[in-house]
A and B are shown apart, each in its own frame.
Chain A
Amino acid sequence: MKVRTAAAIFAARSVRFGLRILGKGATTLPGKVALYMDSELLSHLAEGKKIIVITGTNGKTTTTHMIGDTLADRGYAVVSNVSGANLATGVATSMLEGLPIEKKAKRENRQVVYVLEVDEAAFGKINGKLTPKVQVVTNLFRDQLDRYGEILTTRDFITNGLKGAKGKILLNSDDSMVASLGKEREGNAVFFGMNSSSMESITVTKGEKKKVTEGNSDASFCIFCQSKYEYRARSFGHLGEYCCPSCGFSRPDPSFSFSFSPSWTDPQTGKKISPSEEDYPVLLEYNTTGFLHGELKDTDCSAQRQIREVRTTVPGLHNFYNLMCAAAACTLFGEEVGDEGLDFSHICEGLQSARPAFGRMEKIVIGDKKLCLLLVKNPIGLERALSILSEVSDAGSAYFLLNSNIADGKDISWIWDVNFEDRHYPKALFVSGERYGDMLLRLVYAGVKKENIQYSPIEDSASLMEKALETCQPGECLYILPNYTSMLYLRGIMEKKYNLKAFWK
């Protein structure tokens, strides 16, 4: 090992040790120090390692957790970066933390895998250095526009990161901006998405008149020729079965697809179970023939099409994408490293052990009630959270928190891109965060009566949370929808109050 790298590692270890003594989580500082000392640190550390990289707008953390939990279940020692530490410094810190883990794993005859969540802009700079076995792009949605300016800029970062990529590139077939990254990478691009029939069954057909005050689509126009896409079916946001009538670019057939299980209908009542309920049954399929569409046929060779039912603890349509993505990433990883124990079947089993990530549908039991944290960082995330809020059967009240710090994006205009109108809300609503005024205004303009909303500045957000919990009946759940830094703030309070595991442990 180069002297520079060794010195950098030593420095990082000292920093980490010092921080731990001070009782602080060491999520990025050790990496920062090491990168300063050795600018090629990541390339040096990544050599010969088994790495999976996950990027995209939403679902990175959830997918990273699912992959990590699944591989751990299959016997791997998993090194992952903590939520929020997904820039070069956080990735470097994780790689450094992996060094002692590798030593230990060697003694125990276990393999080590690095499952790393990487921010989109950072992906552009560092993916090439990490040379992962599998790189994943979950989706692309508008997010923190004041940081990047335009969604296509974000896509360009990702394109940069994929230059010369070896290993498999796992892409969301239903997202035209992501699927298009597969062009000219046909050799190693693999797709995951929603089964066509299932998508058709949930597509809402609108009347002749276009409803223009609905939430916005980020990708209405063909990325190659700018003609307007036609959709045969839609999932959510701009995800769906798109086709460009002009140049013919259309949704590729995903090798990995998820569909609604027949058991999603309650046999006693005949009612469909909402995809937002816990323990939701999802069918995951791995089709190696690559040419068949979604329906089950008697003549199918089971070796080419494998279908497994998984009961997910992280419900919601967007999380089914994350689930499928994680299963696909683990399967492809197994193929890349030649681990036969990582076959699709065993992976689907392992997925059942996946727990929600910090703040992503994290459910916490408080006495005879529950709290559920639904982190919302951008319009589509908030749309999905509002859908879940409308669909679940146990919502006692809802609590919105909005901050506008740098990590959140200083521009809160994005809340107006979200369809708050025509939703089913619990009777009592609560609002806090530094920008509570804007969130209050948004709700009132969406038709919620001001008298049904209690609000407070962030300093009083903890006592407001208690009030919110009090309005819930036993068995009900308080759904909390914070954005990034307001979630960190609230969770800090909750950790002390309810003795929760600190997020960096």
Chain B
Amino acid sequence: MQRELRLCHMYPDLLNLYGDRGNILALQRRAQWRDITVSIAAVSLNDTFDSDSYDLIFLGGGQDVEQNILRNDFVNVKGSAVKEAVEKEKIFLCICGGYQMMGEYYQEHDGNRISCLGALQIWTMGEKERLIGDTAYQSTLWEGEKGRLFGFENHSGRTFLKEGVKPLAKVLKGAGNNGMDGTEGAIYKNVFCTYSHGSFLPKNPQMTDYLLEKAMKKRYGEEYILPELDCETENIARKTCPSFM
């Protein structure tokens, strides 16, 4: 039976660095193979954001300049609608810059604090040295091999989680959130955040399926079970990535 999910891609014209649209492709593809159509709607500067129209919301990463362009719109114009969506347990996937902007503030190394949305109790500190490299994380969602997440990080921000926000994963290889506390990413209600590029979802199909199933259950009822689908191709990509373990 053909079903659908509606995905909102926020600021696709501004937050589009590092191949993050691969996450959308992954969701579309693994859904399509189960007869689920994922439609994409773009919401950018000056567009209205009505979270009830969507089952999944995606925010990618971008350059500093582009993030500055959208900051006012995101925080002040769409801000309350986004925060409400978060509290209503809407499903979000946020990568890198998108992740940082969901937090309380970004502090530059001269001490200047830039206010962010404040939907998540996290904050980020910018440093000159970038954290760059292949990564391996152990997700807090699963044990063992299934829980391994592989990707590539490239960020100058160091993010710290406050109480009430859980990490997405534990760092096995790489820096993760800040290179200090061994955490990577964040989970708050149904908001999933990570610094991981790669892109993130293609090589981590368990995560893709997790998000798809959550979205399907919310849309079509808790009884819904996502059909099994092999991860043969994804596993080949996992095994050949430099941080594979």
Contact = CB atoms under 8 A, between A and B. Distances in A.
Contacts of A213: 21, 24-25, 28, 40
Interface residues of B, number: 47
A17 B70 CA distance: 57
B81 to A, nearest CB: 19
A446 B13 CA distance: 21
A111 interface: no
Contacts of A455: 236
Considering residues A414, A445, A446, which has the most beta carbons from chain B within 10 angstroms of its beta carbon? A445
A129 B90 CA distance: 57
A240 to B, nearest CB: 15
Interface string B44-82: 010000000000000000011110110000000000000
A110 B130 CA distance: 50
A491 interface: no
Interface string A431-455: 0001111101110111000100001
Nearest to B58: A212
Nearest to A418: B19
B154 to A, nearest CB: 5
B197 A417 contact: no
A279 interface: no
B133 interface: yes
A142 interface: yes
B237 A417 contact: no
Contacts of B134: 410
A145 B236 contact: no
A421 B241 CA distance: 23
A157 interface: no
Given A212-B9, A404-B242, A411-B152, A444 B233 contact: yes
Interface string A403-431: 01000001111111100010000000000
B240 A417 contact: no
B19 A416 contact: yes
A267 B21 CA distance: 43
A68 B24 CA distance: 44
B132 interface: yes
Contact of A413 (B133, B198, B232): B198
B42 interface: yes
Given A216-B16, A416-B22, A146 B202 contact: no
Given A410-B152, A438-B240, A416 B202 contact: yes
Interface residues of A, number: 40
B21 to A, nearest CB: 6
Contact of B241 (A210, A417, A437, A445): A437
Contacts of B133: 410
Contacts of A29: none
Contacts of A404: 242
A295 B31 CA distance: 50
A417 B21 contact: yes
Nearest to B63: A150
Interface in A143-187: 145-146, 149-152
A236 interface: no
A416 B25 contact: yes
B18 interface: yes
Interface of B: 9, 12-14, 16-22, 24-26, 28-29, 40, 42, 45, 63-66, 68-69, 130, 132-134, 152, 154, 156, 197-199, 202-203, 232-234, 236-242
Given A413-B198, A416-B199, 8 more contacts: A145-B154, A212-B12, A226-B68, A410-B132, A415-B19, A417-B18, A417-B21, A450-B233
24 contacts: A145-B154, A146-B132, A151-B63, A212-B12, A217-B16, A220-B13, A226-B65, A226-B68, A410-B152, A412-B198, A413-B19, A413-B199, A416-B19, A417-B18, A417-B19, A434-B240, A436-B236, A436-B240, A437-B241, A438-B202, A438-B203, A438-B241, A441-B236, A446-B25
Closest 10 CB pairs between A and B? A416-B22, A416-B19, A413-B19, A437-B240, A437-B237, A441-B237, A216-B16, A413-B197, A437-B236, A212-B12
